[in-house]
Amino acid sequence: MSEAGDSQPSPQESRPESRPESRLGRLPAGYDAVGEAKRLLRATRSGALSTLDRAKGYPFASLVTVATDHDGSPILLMSQLSAHTKNLDADPRCSILLAQGGKGDPLAHPRLTIHGRAVKQGETAVRARLKARFLARHPKSALYADFGDFAFWTLEAEGAHLNGGFAKAADYEAKDVLTPLKGAEGLLEAEAGAIAHMNADHAEALGLYAVKLAGEPAGRWRATGLDPEGMDLAAGDLTARIGFPARITGPGELRDVLVGLAAAARKAG
């Protein structure tokens, strides 16, 4: 990824002040494991969900599409007819593997495992929020999201394991990789309007963010969500995460940081 300039930290590398060390040993110098974990959590479209078989107790893995709530908690849209949903009804403990694909050795690419308990969300306001964020990431899911046997679930994380490749393994508590939301109510209330505005009037800037700051290929990039630490983008099957240089909590700060990111992207050439 190109640097944004010597005068300020790279948006993709700048993270909140807390940078907990790996519990599995010393990580390579300069490797931002927490930043990598947060990027994988926000930018991965699908994952392997592991539940406990309700009849025999063995691990049962299945492929699911994933989005994230404002704090980074994984959002799942699942049918009651699915085996993994029936397993979760019996025992909510589960984990999800989020892996970044690519060429070459699959084990050379970073991946993140989140473990915790899955919770079905039926409260009207919560479901509406989860639906909006999930469909922004997976618009084709609108075809069945309101079917009677489908429901939105969140994974209430208890811990995370990052494997960024050789000698880059790290264990973290959930709070280390999730995004605190306290004080950011104004930003979250402004999310829908800000996303619509960016997609309608600032498509060029979104493309610059994706290509120049996240190192993604050119495409019809659109914003799909935002939170105090960054913005999520998508272009067809591609996704990207743009980290903010510093945590923000209100719409005024959002405007300033997006203008700054656009300038940094243009400067990156």
Of the residues 157, 179, 201, which one is the last residue of a structural domain?
179
Examine the pLDDT at 12 and tell me if it is beyond 70. Answer: no
The per-residue pLDDT for 3 is 35
pLDDT, tens digit, 9 for 90 and up, residues 200-249: 999 999 999 999 999 999 999 999 999 999 999 999 999 999 999 999 99
Residues 142 and 222 in one domain: no
R_g of the chain, CA atoms, integer Å: 18
Examine the pLDDT at 4 and tell me if it is beyond 50. Answer: no
Least confident piece of the model among 26-35, 160-169, 175-184, 253-262: 26-35
Residues 152 and 259 in one domain: no
State mean pLDDT over 174-202. 97
Of the residues 153, 179, 205, which one is the last residue of a structural domain?
179
The per-residue pLDDT for 25 is 59
What would the two tokens of residue 132 be? 């909006």
The per-residue pLDDT for 165 is 84
Of the residues 123, 156, 179, which one is the last residue of a structural domain?
179
Residues 87 and 62 in one domain: yes
pLDDT band at residue 102, thresholds of 50, 70 and 90? confident
The whole domain housing 33 covers 21-179
Query: In whole angstroms, what is the distance from residue 178 CA to residue 41 CA?
Result: 9
Examine the pLDDT at 97 and tell me if it is beyond 50. Answer: yes
State mean pLDDT over 29-37. 90
HEC-encoded secondary structure of the chain:
CCCCCCCCCCCCCCCCCCCCCCCCCCCCCCCCHHHHHHHHHHHCCEEEEEEECCCCCCEEEEEEECEECCCCCEEEEEECCCHHHHHHHHCCEEEEEEECCCCCCHHHCCEEEEEEEEEEECCHHHHHHHHHHHHHHCHHHHHCCCCCCEEEEEEEEEEEEEECCCCCEEEEEHHHHCCCCCCCHHHHHCHHHHHHHHHHHCHHHHHHHHHHHCCCCCCCCEEEEEECCEEEEEECCEEEEEECCCCCCCHHHHHHHHHHHHHHHHHCC
| Other beta carbons less than 10 A from residue 41's beta carbon | 25
The per-residue pLDDT for 269 is 73
Residues 7 and 57 in one domain: no
Query: In whole angstroms, what is the distance from residue 121 CA to residue 151 CA?
Result: 7
Least confident piece of the model among 7-21, 37-51, 128-142, 160-174: 7-21
Domains: count for the chain: 2
State mean pLDDT over 48-56. 97
The per-residue pLDDT for 28 is 82
Can you give the CATH number for the domain in which 126 is found? 2.30.110.10
State mean pLDDT over 181-189. 97
Percent of the chain past pLDDT 90, that is, above it, reads: 83
Task: Provide the angle, in degrees to the nearest 10, between the axes of the packed helices 191-201 and 251-267.
Answer: 30
Handedness of CA 82, 84, 124, 42 (dihedral sign): negative
Residues 140 and 81 in one domain: yes
Examine the pLDDT at 55 and tell me if it is beyond 80. Answer: yes
Best-predicted range by mean pLDDT (1-15, 65-79, 94-108): 65-79
Pairwise pLDDT comparison (109 vs 16), residue with the higher score: 109
The per-residue pLDDT for 24 is 55
Residues 215 and 86 in one domain: no
Residues 42 and 93 in one domain: yes
Q: Say what the pTM is.
A: 0.89
